[in-house]
Structure 1
Amino acid sequence: MADVALECRDLAKSFGGVPVLKGVSLTLEAGSVTALAGENGAGKSTMMKIASGQVKPDHGQVLIAGEPLSQADPRAAHRQGVAIIPQELAPIMDMKVYENLFIGRELRSRAGLLDRRAMARKAREILDVFEVEIDPQATMRMLPVGLRQLVEIAKSTSGGAKVLLLDEPSSAISDREVERLYTVVGKLREQGVAMLYTTHKMEEIRALADRVVVLRDGRLVTDRPLADISDDDIVHAMIGRELEDLFPVLHPPGDEVALQVSGLHVHGYEQPVELTVRRGEILGLAGLVGAGRTELLEAIFGIRKSLAGTITVAGKATKRNSPADSIGHGMALVPEDRKGSGAVLSMSVLDNGSLPRLSSFTLAGWLRQRERARTVGKAMESVKLRSRGLSQQVGTLSGGNQQKVVLARWLTDAVNILLLDEPTRGVDVGARSEIYRIITELAASGMAVVMASSDMPEILSLAHRALVMREGAVAGELNREDLSSPDVQDTIFRLAAGLEPGSASGRPQPPTDTKENGR
């Protein structure tokens, strides 16, 4: 039997009288990867914070290599060999890579001065173990998110960590960077590091895990070897019910044109874009990383500069580069980054729900509180928001419910055009099903939806029609019949990569540019 690197015994924790963990016990073995699955709000992050010494449990104990975690102190846990790589990384952005790697344990010369040359040389040796090309002299700010993440992992393991807790490590990185992350995880397994890896992605569980642990409503409901559990079993354990139909039935769109985009020249791209969306239609935008999907949505809404073209909503032209005019014409945008540019996490559900149309809730400079609460409450009810009420801080909601707030706040008034950018990124499978239902119901009510997604099943199952984008231009169009064909994924890839249909050439690697360089 493998050595037990970390053991959690009967962990319980409540916040504000609300139980989050209810007697959870698990073990992590050296040289193994345990996937921690569960819906948002199931207690995964709380358990990781307890195991890494950030939060003190109300009951229970954490043992590291058989020794009790001495106190709820991250530094104490790190000294005992436990490190956590949080979803929201916190490197010192204006320091160099080698400085981040050695912060708190700097190398010094015999004279007591910082030995920067030795630290840079040692940093290169550490990074070479993981087979990644990162310049130790580079500033952290200049690295894409995926490489910053690998620097944080290298920092933890080079400091002696034998237990690594990875919280949604692939949620904000490109496909190329995910492959690099998989390689690093494999290297760490070979080195005998025990890893707890949270993810919503079934393909990641299959690619990496030796064992699967599932939390639901604060309780451990499944702990089984990966070989003994199916994807359906994992989903059922997560949500407590069968998920037979993840995607709802699509209703046929109408004939009336809701959105007409003609000759739209998005800043930074050479080719103009033409597209039409009918009332009740869901138009999918597919493509590789860097294809320009996000930029197109932002240009239509007006928050990204466009140089020429016309945008017409229900037959009326809107002003380019004017979000206020777009909103006035019934256009709404749900951005990909709900934490950075979507919700204001420190504000309440009520305040977030008021933001897009604050002027409609004011009279002579005074907020009409009763009307605001009534309207926002009704919008949140329409998406079945799970919260303790309108006063709850959005940052304390699960990821799926945060996304519902960002979407529902537009529903306080009429919406003609709904622009969605990666609507289910970082959302668990149960909440994902609910968001799909919301999208299809809004389309069925006559709303026109334009949805950019990197999730191929979303495009294939949720869209009436899809445009494949490449270098900011439309490379091809697929109708509902095309999206149902057996070879559609190959067709989409070839269009996105600029390959001729039936080309015998091998598949090129996707571009390595990250979200900073567009999608």
Structure 2
Amino acid sequence: MASALEVRNLAKGFGGVPVLRDVSFSVEPGKLTVLAGENGAGKSTLMKIVTGQLRPDQGEVLIEGQPLEQASPQHARAQGVGIVPQELAPYPDMLVYENLFVGRELRTKAGFLNRRAMITQARAMLEMFGVDIDPKTPMRHLSLALTQLVEIAKATTWGARILLLDEPTSSIPDREVARLYTVVRRLKDQGVAMIYTTHRMAEIEELADQVIVLRDGTLVMDEPISAAPEQEIVHAMIGRPLDTLFPDTAPPTPDIGLRVEGLKLERSGPAVDFSIRKGEILGLGGLVGAGRTEILEGLYGIRRTTAGSVEVDGHPLRRNAPAEAIRAGLAIVPEDRKGAGLVLSRSVLDNGSLPHLSSYSRGGWQLGNRRARVDEAMKSVALKSRGLDQFVGTLSGGNQQKVVLARWLTHNCSVLLLDEPTRGVDVGARGEIYSIIRDLAASGLAVLLVSSDMPELIGLSHRVLVARAGGIAGELGRDQLDRADAQETIFRLASGQATPGSAAA
């Protein structure tokens, strides 16, 4: 079969530093190729060259056998190349159909905009992808997931035969992922060739026909998915075997760092009871909607609870009071790193100061210890940045997460609440974050880890609680987590299928 896209001997550097080195591969029509690699591996540069945003220093891009001769997005689009970037950029004040037809508006014979025809065609485009929305809806009223599907419809109905999808599931809720998968499969059936970047191994197994991996700008894997098991993909990405990803964890102390008794999110809901020892990493697993995040936020006080008690280092904590939780030594890393964890338009210094702003000023005057404390904390997590004045929005996902973690280390911290701490983070940076979490636990912190990544949950935790319907359905100790059927047991508990004796309650 003739290639839809062929990349030959691409090389690109910036300021004398090579970013891509002699990269060659091809993509067939109706096939999905996953482009994997750590942040900084060269994926973004490669995608920019394919879409005409950058000119390579060496090599060429062929679209259905014809060279992409101009470094121009318009030229690439005219040859059938479309892209849906990770950071979507629709026109929020325009309507859905206007976004779909921007730059190619339909007109009447008299030259006026033919809005009726555009609305009719827009409705047909959306229905093709199973999207049931009114084309006259303002774009700003759409969820991120629906916005993404509109952008996919826009790209493919322009006639794109090659579609690049950059981390399409990184910012959409899990419940929307299945709909995206359905759209991707429809595009494959229509013969569209796709390049799809993702950090999620489950997505690679679910969608990929082919896997190519970049490491340090060099192509280190180009295999059909049938010949690329997860361990080999990860090894190709990070240059070391998967079994080295999870560090050994030190045993916890006998002392209780966090005790939760009878905590209720709703008056008629289940009561939550558990404790975490100092130095222990307690995993909290379960299906989407099981109440894991709600339990974590209830502990911290940002989600209202109706009953129960929380103790930190033996001292009672007033419920529904986040400021008091901070003073007591609770720290939280939220799931939505960009929306709830960081101010992207501010510096590393400002973001590193956020939880303890009052301690850095007196009488309206800033004290001189802020920069030193934040700098020390960022060095402790090996933050890769140009300095404390760099905006966090320009950092990689892994380094952004390090900022969210490290800012709690500027003051005394006893309990660390982690909600999906490696979501949207590449495998290499994930390993660094795992080491940071392990080291923090070893220093005496009690850690509560919420994760949907089963290897992460099992690999990091001393114990795992399984949430279901807002309560705790069961518990697995380390000996059970080391068994081959650990994932199945967790799933059965999470879905209410557990058999008696399958896990300790």
Q: TM-score, normalised by structure 2?
A: 0.88
2:380 alignment partner in structure 1: 382
Deviates more, 1:107-116 or 1:117-126: 107-116
What secondary structure does 2:253 align onto? coil
Contact 2:6 2:24 in 1 (8 A): no
Q: Which moved more, 1:420-429 or 1:82-91?
A: 82-91
CA deviation string 1:127-152 (max 9, x = no partner): 34335555545555555443332222
Cα distance between partner residues in 1 of 2:334 and 2:355: 13
Shift of 1:340: 1.6
1:264-413 equivalent positions in 2, closer than 5 A: 264-266=263-265, 270-362=269-361, 365-369=364-368, 371-413=369-411
Q: How far does residue 449 in structure 1 lie from its aligned partner after superposition?
A: 0.5
Q: 1:151 to 1:256 in 2, by over 3 A?
A: same
Which of 461, 464, 475 is the aligned partner of 1:463?
461
- 1:33 corresponds to which letter in structure 2? L
SS at match of 1:378: helix
Q: How far apart are the structure 2 equivalents of 1:71 and 1:319?
A: 63
The 3 A distance-change label for structure 1 pair 318 and 19 is farther
Greater shift after overlay, 131-140 or 288-297? 131-140
1:49-64 matches, cutoff 5 A: 49-57=48-56, 61-64=60-63
- Determine the C-alpha separation between the residues in 1 that align with 2:61 and 2:484: 50
Q: CA-to-partner distance for each residue in 1:36-93, whole Å, 9 max, x for gaps?
A: 1111121212221232233455565544344454544433432332111112223345
Aligned runs of 1:179-328 on 2, under 5 Å? 179-266=178-265, 270-328=269-327
Name the CA distance, whole Å, in 1 between partners of 2:274 and 2:143: 32
Q: Which is further off, 232-241 or 259-268?
A: 259-268
Change (3 A) 1:351 1:19: farther
Alignment partners' CA distance in 2, 1:181 and 1:372 = 44
Q: 1:42 aligns to what SS in structure 2?
A: coil
Distance 1:421 1:362 in 2: 30
Q: CA RMSD in A?
A: 2.9
What is the SS of the residue equivalent to 2:299? helix
CA distance in 2 between counterparts of 1:475 and 1:151 reads 39
Q: Deviations over 1:427-478 (max 9, x none)?
A: 1222212211211221121100111111122222222222222232323333
Query: Letter of the aligned partner of 1:489 in structure 2?
Result: Q
Q: Is the 8 A contact 2:267 2:307 kept in 1?
A: no
Report the AA paired with residue 5 of structure 1: L
Q: How big is the shift at 1:334? A: 0.7
Q: Distance in 2 between matches of 1:93 and 1:303?
A: 30
Structure 1 partner of 2:503: none
The one-letter amino acid of 2:338's match is K
Match of 2:423 in 1: 425
SS in 1 for 2:168: coil
Q: Distance in 2 between matches of 1:45 and 1:267?
A: 45
Distance in 2 separating the partners of 1:358 and 1:18: 39
* Cα-to-partner distance string for 1:136-183 (whole Å, 9 max, x where unaligned): 455555554433322221221111111111111122334553333333
| Paired AA for residue 284 in structure 1 | G
State the distance in 2 between where 1:167 and 1:269 align: 43
CA 1:343–1:54: 2 relative to 1, 3 Å: farther
Question: In 2, Cα distance between the equivalents of 1:315 and 1:265?
Answer: 20
What is the letter of the counterpart of residue 394 of structure 2? T
Aligned mates of 1:93, 1:476 — CA distance in 2: 45
Task: Check whether the contact 2:489–2:498 (CA below 8 A) recurs between aligned residues.
Answer: no
Amino acid at match of 1:416: S
In 1: Cα distance, 2:24 partner to 2:343 partner: 35
Residues 1:496 and 1:110: Cα distance change in structure 2 (over 3 Å): farther
Q: 1:236 to 1:70 in 2, by over 3 A?
A: same
Unaligned runs of 5+ residues in structure 2 are 501-505
* SS of residue in 1 equivalent to 2:243: coil
CA contact (8 A) 1:12 1:60 kept: no
Q: Report the secondary structure of 2:390's partner residue.
A: coil
CA gap 1:73/1:281 in 2 versus in 1, 3 angstroms? same
Deviation at 1:186, TM superposition (A): 2.5
SS of residue in 1 equivalent to 2:38: coil
Asked if structure 2 preserves the Cα contact closer than 8 Å seen for 1:12 and 1:24, the reply is: no
Which residue pairs with 2:5 in the alignment?
A: 5
> 1:268 Cα shift?
9.6
Question: TM-score, normalized by length of structure 1?
Answer: 0.86
Deviations 1:232-276 (A, max 9, x none): 332222112334322222322222221122333336983443332
Map of 1:496 onto structure 2 = 494
Moved more, 130-139 or 200-209: 130-139
Question: How far apart, in 2, do the equivalents of 1:269 and 1:108 lie?
Answer: 59
Over 3 Å counting, the alpha-carbon distance change for 1:116 and 1:310 in structure 2 is farther
Cα 1:384–1:255 shift into 2, 3 Å: same
The letter for the 1-side match of 2:401 is Q
1:278 to partner: Cα distance: 1.8
Q: Partners of 1:41 and 1:344 in 2: how far apart?
A: 23
1:171 match? 170
Shift of 1:354: 2.5
> Against the structure 1 CA distance between its residues 457 and 321, is the aligned structure 2 distance closer, same or farther, given a 3 Å change threshold?
same
8 A Cα contact 1:11 1:25, kept in partner? no
Aligned partners of 1:22 and 1:219 also within 8 Å = yes
Q: Which stretch shows the higher mean deviation, 237-246 or 148-157?
A: 237-246
Instruction: Quote the offset at 1:377 in angstroms.
Output: 2.7
Deviation at residue 497 of structure 1 after TM alignment: 2.9
Instruction: Give CA-to-partner distance per residue, 1:210-247, whole Å, 9 cap, x none.
Output: 32221112233333333444433322221123343222
Secondary structure of 1:418 counterpart:
strand
Check the 8 A contact 2:5/2:61 in 1, yes or no: no
What does residue 99 of structure 2 align with?
Answer: 100
Q: Is the 8 A contact 1:98 1:137 kept in 2?
A: yes
> How far, CA to CA, are the matches of 1:163 and 1:128 in structure 2?
21
Match of 1:447 among 420, 445, 448: 445
Q: 1:88 to 1:305 in 2, by over 3 A?
A: farther
Aligned residues: 500
